[in-house]
Structure 1
Amino acid sequence: MATRLGLGLPQMRQYDLGKDVPDVARAAERTGYDSLWVFERALFPEPATQGLYGVEGLPWPDEYRNVAEPLVTLTLAAAATERAELGTSVLVAPLHIPFQLARALASLDAASGGRVVAGFGTGWSHDEYAAASVRPFAERGRALDELIAVCRAVWGPDPVVYDGDLTKIASAVVGPKPVRPVPILLAASSGKARRRLVDHADGWLPAGTGVEAVAAQWRQLRELAEERGRTEPIRTVLRANARHRASAPAGAGRRPFHGSVDQIVEDLAAHAGIGLDEILVDLQGAARDAEELKDVAAEVYEKVRAAGV
């Protein structure tokens, strides 16, 4: 069975959101992409107080200076498409009020005919937490736990009842409901996060850091699921942050998914061999505009399928 392929939607400052998001979404669906994805970056601290991903000295990429709000972007894509799933990879859970986010996702799922996939993470930027979070950084895991529980409650049958730290629902009718239970996927890398995924989520959103690393993480996650008695399958969607250029040096120094279309396709084929369900290819950062993004995305898709992935 072929690996499903998703495409990252244009959220950065070189794009005209109102025009380019629907245009790219329609083109991707016509090309054959199975899903469309957004990510979340709330702000760009200047001067930077913390390195990218919390790694000291690692600079934030310039394209993070202007990233469109993810659910607004996804709504534009939903209105322009009919088939493709609509996913978040990822929403930073503690930057959202759980009840409001649960209702927004349910409404989007209802409006799109049951196409939403909710990907959550805990984030890493202290600056984003200081500006927007509903809980302190130290409590980010608890915030994600409550968000998952509130979503399950709000999306479930009425009357909805929930008693948490942030959210209190005594007894209420909450609608609209999603068309079907919205899959919840987590970007889990640590031991505690993996246990949360195995016990409370539907799937995993790994980052494409290299075949060996992802394969090892996937093996560890499956082993943990067996230990904890999970019988439901874990859906897997790999995020491939791609940087397209005419050519890149071959060899160990090249980062995964960086280089020519052929090099990107080679990496996609290698990661597909791990046995993951889906790969999300995000090509937007290096594209000059929507026309280039559409052209490169179409070429990647055609060559991936021609390679038997």
Structure 2
Amino acid sequence: MPWEERGARLDECRDVLAAWWHDDPVAHEGRTGTIMPSHVQVKPHGIPIYLGGSGRRPMQRAAERADGFLPVLLPDTVDQLDAVVNRPWQRLGDAAVAAGRPADAIGAALRYNVAADDDPAHIGRVLRRVAAETDVADVFVDFIDKDEVGDAAVELVGRVLDAARGGSRRD
């Protein structure tokens, strides 16, 4: 799919999900597909949609329609928490207000990319910094080279959790 079409496709997907989850009958006619008027019995409720992106249009899309924001923290941006998380989230809250929504209508979940061989103590320190220096309530650690983690993944996750809590796992 051409890069320039991703946003429009996401907008249409969001329209389809809104119709599917809330309308009866469900109907949609768009650029990429059509749903003829249909009765759908299963209507999930309360599924939050979090969007990422840092450009003007992705942030506007999140401000207007998303439940949450997905900033990404990379190993080389750890020292830039304010620029990576706090300022974009503030801009997002301001844009939500401009779109007629409360600033706190949008949550955040931070994705922290790490390599499988990163020091769990360092990862734990970063997670504690995130808790102290941002308003982000949820963080998930994404092991970039997860295919290489293999059987050691559970043990590594335990060590990261212990380090994030300020302790260390010796076993």
Q: Name the TM-score, length of structure 2 as normaliser.
A: 0.82
Q: Does 1:233 align with 2:105?
A: yes
SS in 2 for 1:171: strand
Deviation by residue 1:175-232 (Cα, 9 ceiling, x = unmatched) = 5332x23211101211111111111111111101331222221222122223333125
* Aligned-residue CA RMSD (Å): 2.1
More helix by percentage: 2
Report whether the alignment pairs 1:201 with 2:66: yes
- Per-residue deviation at 1:174? 2.7
CA distance in 2, matches of 1:146, 1:287: 33
**1:269 maps to which of 101, 112, 128:** 128
C-alpha separation in 1, matches of 2:31 and 2:147:
43
Could you list the runs of 5+ residues in structure 2 that have no partner in the other structure? none
- Maintained 8 Å contact 2:123/2:163: no
Structure 2 CA distance for aligned equivalents of residues 154 and 227 of structure 1: 27
Residues 244 and 261 of structure 1 are in contact (CA less than 8 Å); yes or no, is this contact kept in structure 2? no
* CA offsets 1:131-178 (integer angstroms, 9 cap, x no match): xxxxx3322211111011101111224211222222222310235332
For residue 143 of structure 2, the aligned residue among 280, 283, 305 is: 283
Question: How many positions carry a matched residue from both structures?
Answer: 159
Please show how residues 152-231 of structure 1 align to structure 2 within 5 Å. Answer: 152-178=18-44, 180-208=45-73, 209-210=77-78, 211-213=81-83, 214-231=85-102
Note if contact 1:158-1:172 (Cα within 8 Å) is conserved in structure 2.
yes
Give ranges in structure 1 of 5+ residues lacking alignment: 1-128, 130-135, 246-258
Identity %: 30
Aligned equivalents of 2:86 and 2:15: distance in 1?
A: 29
What CA distance in whole angstroms lies between the structure 2 residues aligned with 1:217 and 1:169?
Answer: 36
Q: TM-score, normalised by structure 1?
A: 0.47
Q: Structure 2 matches for 1:1-309, cutoff 5 A?
A: 129=1, 136-178=2-44, 180-208=45-73, 209-210=77-78, 211-213=81-83, 214-231=85-102, 233-245=105-117, 259-273=118-132, 274-283=134-143, 285=145, 288-306=148-166
Contact 1:241–1:282 (CA<8 Å) still a contact in 2? yes
Give the secondary structure class of the aligned counterpart of 1:162.
strand
Secondary structure in 1 matching 2:105: coil
User: Which structure is higher in RCO with an 8 Å CA cutoff and minimum separation 6?
Assistant: 1
CA distance in 2 between partners of 1:294 and 1:225 (Å): 39
Pair 165,286 (structure 1): closer, same or farther in 2 beyond 3 Å: closer
The 4+ residue runs of structure 1 with deviation greater than 6 A are: none
Q: CA deviation at 1:287?
A: 6.8
Match of 1:101 in 2: none
Displacement after TM superposition at 1:241 (Å): 0.7
State the secondary structure of the residue aligned to 2:37.
Answer: strand
The answer to whether the 8 A contact 1:240-1:279 is kept is yes
Contact between 1:204 and 1:237, CA under 8 Å: does it hold in 2?
yes
